[in-house]
């Protein structure tokens, strides 16, 4: 277990960004390490999750969660160990995961915090395949997308934290899986290591033409992580009764002008298809179901979990976050904030 320091470094939102967040977006500040009160415990953060959704949390607009306030600690999922406790359900030394924020030490009352098992998977995996990305992939694919054996499933952002798990879950369920990713290296990874049936390099290929080649009879489930033109390309290939799952739209997260909606939405009408968005927090009472299924796949070698762990500590948060928007990560992007 790490020693408890006296200084707690943290990242606070200094100003709301326009476009890509820059150095002026963040303040790195220091405070005293908190002491737990009755019913509380203190966590020493080890790893922080970097997620595309963070960009949306910086905007002062109505959304599924309130925006991060200027001056507040940046919201983030993290995993670490309990270092002090006055809570009956959390003991010193235990590994836990929760919405602890971008800081080295966090105090919690236990709400939304889960115990994690390092014998099942290392801590970074509990922010990826066994964390929010894995939960998102599971419920988005099976509850919203209603994927079943024999379906043709296409997933964008296929080499990312969510997309890589979506494709493997779909393949395990007996689907034909086509991934869309950026670059030959990522495409090779999703086919050679993750077992996708095909991969489309959107940087080097015309996605619409490639979809016609790899899915000549159409798409049953399109799991969308990017939005934009690729969403339109997928809409053009829907099969009768198809399901489009709207998970994210990273292609437009840093846009400074309103992003246009899909041009080919009438394909939903023609094909009697559906398009639905979802928020993983709505499935919180069923996280155990998804975690059990994914844990079994990890144990059996049926699912590959990859984390890109970036060093640098708390001060590297801003630069590390922007790796997501440059497409510079493969698998789950995690920031190492251990000493």
pTM over cut 0.75: yes
pLDDT band of residue 5 (cuts 50, 70, 90) is: confident
Nearest Cα neighbor of 197 from 218, 220, 222, 214 is 214
Single out the residue in 264, 281, 298 at which a domain terminates: 281
Nearest Cα neighbor of 327 from 116, 160, 89 is 160
Q: Is the pLDDT of residue 172 over 80?
A: yes
pLDDT tens column, 280-298: 999 999 999 999 999 999 9
| One domain for residues 90 and 166 | no
pLDDT tens column, 267-280: 999 999 999 999 99
pLDDT on residue 273 = 98
pLDDT tens column, 182-199: 999 999 999 999 999 999
The CA distances from residue 119 to 21, 41, 71, 309, 324, in Å, are 37, 23, 38, 19, 29
Q: Which domain holds residue 122?
A: 7-128+306-336
Across the range 127-144, mean pLDDT stands at 97
pLDDT band of residue 250 (cuts 50, 70, 90) is: confident
| One domain for residues 155 and 264 | yes
| One domain for residues 18 and 97 | yes
62: Cβ contacts below 8 Å, ≥ 6 apart: none
Residue 208 lies in a domain: yes
pLDDT on residue 169 = 98
Q: Is the pLDDT of residue 58 over 90?
A: yes
Average pLDDT, the chain: 95
| One domain for residues 237 and 321 | no
| One domain for residues 19 and 117 | yes
| One domain for residues 140 and 260 | yes
| One domain for residues 145 and 199 | yes
Across the range 129-158, mean pLDDT stands at 98
| One domain for residues 116 and 222 | no
The helix (run of H) or strand (run of E) holding residue 97 is: strand 95-98
pLDDT on residue 38 = 97
Q: Count structural domains, the chain.
A: 2
The CA distances from residue 144 to 108, 158, 225, in Å, are 32, 18, 14
Q: Is the pLDDT of residue 178 over 70?
A: yes
Q: Is the pLDDT of residue 207 over 90?
A: yes
Across the range 126-133, mean pLDDT stands at 97
Residue 300 lies in a domain: no
| One domain for residues 148 and 261 | yes
Residue 263 lies in a domain: yes
The helix (run of H) or strand (run of E) holding residue 87 is: none
| One domain for residues 108 and 235 | no
Dump the DSSP string for 125-166.
GGGTTTSHHHHHHHHIIIIIS---TT-EEEEESTTBHHHHHH
What CATH number did the domain enclosing 266 receive?
Answer: 3.40.50.720
pLDDT on residue 251 = 82
pLDDT band of residue 2 (cuts 50, 70, 90) is: low
Q: Who has greater pLDDT, 212 or 251?
A: 212
Residue 144 lies in a domain: yes
pLDDT on residue 6 = 83
pLDDT on residue 1 = 59
Q: Who has greater pLDDT, 111 or 1?
A: 111
pLDDT on residue 62 = 87
What CATH number did the domain enclosing 108 receive?
Answer: 3.90.180.10
Q: Is the pLDDT of residue 151 over 80?
A: yes
| One domain for residues 141 and 116 | no
Residue 146 lies in a domain: yes
Tokens 């928020």, residue located:
279
User: Which structure tokens are listed for 270?
Assistant: 């023609």
| One domain for residues 141 and 191 | yes
Single out the residue in 281, 296, 322 at which a domain terminates: 281
Residue 296 lies in a domain: no
Residue 51 lies in a domain: yes
Nearest Cα neighbor of 121 from 307, 321, 330 is 307
């Amino acid at each position: 277990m790490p020693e408890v320091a006296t200084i707690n470094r943290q990242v606070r939102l200094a100003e709301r960004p326009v476009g890509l967040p820059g150095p002026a977006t963040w303040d790195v500040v220091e405070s005293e390490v908190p002491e737990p009160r009755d019913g509380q415990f203190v966590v020493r953060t080890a790893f922080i999750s970097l997620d595309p959704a963070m960009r949306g949390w910086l905007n002062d607009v109505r959304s599924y969660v309130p925006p991060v306030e200027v001056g507040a600690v940046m919201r983030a999922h993290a995993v670490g160990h309990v270092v002090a406790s006055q809570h009956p359900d959390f003991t010193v030394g235990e590994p836990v995961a929760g919405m602890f924020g971008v800081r080295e030490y966090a105090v919690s009352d236990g709400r939304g915090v889960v115990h994690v098992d390092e014998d099942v998977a290392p801590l970074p995996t509990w922010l990826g395949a066994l964390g929010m990305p894995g939960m998102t992939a599971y419920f988005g694919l099976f509850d919203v997308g209603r994927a079943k054996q024999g379906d043709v499933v296409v997933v964008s952002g296929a080499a990312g934290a969510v997309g890589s798990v979506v494709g493997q879950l779909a393949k395990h369920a007996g689907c034909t899986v086509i991934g869309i990713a950026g670059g030959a290296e990522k495409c090779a990874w999703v086919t050679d290591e993750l077992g996708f049936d095909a991969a489309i390099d959107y940087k080097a290929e015309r996605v619409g033409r490639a979809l016609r080649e790899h899915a000549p009879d159409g798409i049953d489930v399109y799991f969308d992580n990017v939005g934009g033109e690729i969403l339109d390309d997928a809409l053009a290939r829907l099969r009768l009764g198809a399901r489009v799952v709207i998970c994210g739209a990273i292609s437009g997260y840093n846009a400074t002008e309103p992003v246009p909606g899909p041009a080919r939405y009438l394909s939903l009408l023609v094909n009697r298809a559906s398009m639905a968005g979802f928020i993983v927090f709505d499935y919180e009472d069923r996280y155990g179901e998804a975690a059990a299924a994914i844990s079994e796949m990890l144990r059996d070698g049926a699912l590959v979990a990859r984390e890109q762990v970036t060093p640098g500590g708390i001060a590297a948060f801003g630069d590390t976050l922007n790796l997501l928007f440059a497409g510079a990560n493969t698998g789950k992007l995690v920031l190492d904030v251990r000493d």
